[in-house]
Amino acid sequence: MQRRFGRGVWVDSVGVRPELEKDPFVQAVMDELGMDLSRHRPKGFDDLDDMSFDLIVTLTPEAHHRALELTRTWALDVEYWPTFDPTLAQGSRESILEEYRRVRDALDARIASRFVRPSTG
């Protein structure tokens, strides 16, 4: 989202298991697009400083249920985008990276179709 829209939108990312270490495969496939995630730190829903979102997009059933529970009294939308968990991929390093690329590219395509870049003219 940030790669497509830059500072034009405010985006944050959380997970349901923030205690997990940073995933080097995520960093590798995002590096391929010029996105440096070296300063990104995993965090959970409880770590959000600001809840002034218009939309929450969830990628797993667990995250979706957590988001719905968290926002049940708030006026915002929650969308579920079912997404394959690439951490389940097996095989060589290259085949695992390919699964991560598929997820990355599928999410990028979904973002492109869901969000229209505002006109600057």
State pLDDT tens for residues 40-76: 888 887 787 767 788 999 999 999 999 899 888 888 8
Our count of domains for the chain comes to 1
**Residue 121 covered by a domain:** no
**Residue 34 covered by a domain:** yes
pLDDT above 90 (res 83)? yes
**Residue 98 covered by a domain:** yes
- How far is CA 3 from each of CA 87, 97, 104, rounded to the nearest angstrom? 23, 20, 12
Give the residue, 36 or 21, on which the prediction is more confident. Answer: 36
**Residue 119 covered by a domain:** no
What pLDDT, on the 0 to 100 scale, is given for residue 71?
85
**Residue 95 covered by a domain:** yes
pLDDT above 60 (res 15)? yes
pLDDT above 70 (res 120)? no
Q: Identify the DSSP state of 119.
A: P
**Residue 9 covered by a domain:** yes
Structural domain boundaries, residue 73: 2-114
CATH number of residue 75's parent domain? 3.40.50.2300
